[in-house]
């Protein structure tokens, strides 16, 4: 390849990256902050993580629209506002260890990993889990650990966690997740029937007491269980 063609490709690449950055800033400022997200660490992370690298190639042009997008196997990458909201609601701190159930594309894990010390994430569909692990490694996120498994059981070896984020709608809170939560920790989870009547819930563990709070209506893909 001649030097001038190579230069031209590099220029186009830089131009495209710049245009994605601009769109990302617009998305964060005009949708995410506009709708009330205030945590500076969350805002910074949403501006940093390149969502266009987490969506299938044929949908890259929609990567910075504030909506979920298909990622294959009937699953979706969540809407950016919801990702920001769920991240803010656990009140993430730099020293936190967070468990995510439903790795999907790995986007939510990346948003968390920019803020907290360690992220553990579980995906039930092997193809998605393996692709996300490879993507996150390529992007240099060495504080994210991906496991292909049924997230119902959590990831006991690395617990207890400061917070747990579940990104698929369950009919009830899996008891192992409550067990693996630290004292004073938070779980954010959509509860309800598949694709309808779901509520995003915030669970807090205070002593022997568990408090629950409804946050907002949401639509998530279903939390599935491994067939024996």
- Which residue in the set 87, 108, 180, 198 belongs to the binding site for ligand SAH (CB under 6 A)? 108
- Which residue in the set 55, 89, 101, 181 belongs to the binding site for ligand SAH (CB under 6 A)? 101
Vertex 224, ends 86 and 227: CA angle to 5°? 155
- Which residue in the set 55, 119, 128, 218 belongs to the binding site for ligand SAH (CB under 6 A)? 128
Asked if 78 interacts with ligand SAH (CB under 6 A), we say yes
Asked if 223 interacts with ligand SAH (CB under 6 A), we say yes
The rounded Cα 9 to chain-centroid distance in angstroms is 32
| Cβ-proximal residues to 39 (8 Å cutoff; 6+ apart), any chain | 87, 88, 91, 92
How far is residue 134's CA from residue 140's CA, in Å, rounded to a whole number?
10
| Cβ-proximal residues to 32 (8 Å cutoff; 6+ apart), any chain | 43, 46, 66, 80, 81, 84
Tell me 61's DSSP state. G
Asked if 150 interacts with ligand SAH (CB under 6 A), we say yes
**Near ligand SAH by CB under 6 A, which window of 23-31, 35-43, 101-109, 205-213?**
101-109
Asked if 75 interacts with ligand SAH (CB under 6 A), we say yes
Q: Which DSSP string do the residues of 175-213 spell out, in sequence order?
A: HHHHHTEEEEEEEEEEEEETTEEEEEEEEEEETTEEEEE
Residue with tokens 């979920």: 68
Asked if 224 interacts with ligand SAH (CB under 6 A), we say yes
- Which residue in the set 42, 125, 136, 177 belongs to the binding site for ligand SAH (CB under 6 A)? 125
- Which residue in the set 80, 92, 104, 190 belongs to the binding site for ligand SAH (CB under 6 A)? 104
Catalytic (active site) residue 78: yes
- List residues binding ligand SAH (CB under 6 A): 75-78, 101-102, 104-105, 107-108, 122-125, 128, 150-152, 167-168, 221, 223-225
Catalytic residue list: 78
């Amino acid at each position: 390849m001649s030097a001038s063609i190579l230069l031209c490709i590099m220029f186009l690449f830089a131009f495209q990256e710049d245009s994605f950055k601009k769109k990302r800033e617009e998305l964060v400022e005009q949708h995410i902050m506009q709708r009330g997200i205030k945590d500076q660490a969350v805002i910074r992370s949403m501006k940093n993580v390149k969502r266009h690298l987490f969506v299938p190639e044929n949908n890259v042009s929609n990567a910075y629209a504030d909506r979920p997008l298909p990622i294959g196997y009937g699953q979706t990458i969540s809407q950016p506002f919801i990702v920001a909201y769920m991240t803010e609601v656990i009140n993430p701190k730099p020293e936190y260890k967070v468990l995510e159930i439903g790795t999907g594309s790995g986007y939510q894990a990346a948003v968390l990993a920019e803020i907290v010390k360690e992220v553990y994430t579980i995906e039930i569909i092997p193809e998605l889990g393996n692709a996300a692990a490879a993507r996150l490694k390529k992007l240099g996120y060495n504080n994210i650990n991906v496991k292909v498994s049924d997230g119902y059981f959590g990831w006991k070896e690395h617990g207890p966690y400061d917070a747990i984020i579940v990104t698929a709608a369950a009919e009830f809170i899996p008891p192992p997740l409550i067990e693996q939560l630290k004292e004073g920790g938070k779980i954010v989870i959509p509860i309800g029937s598949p694709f309808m009547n779901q509520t995003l819930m915030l669970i807090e563990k205070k002593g022997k007491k568990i408090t629950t709070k409804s946050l907002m209506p949401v639509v998530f893909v279903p939390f599935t269980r491994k067939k024996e």
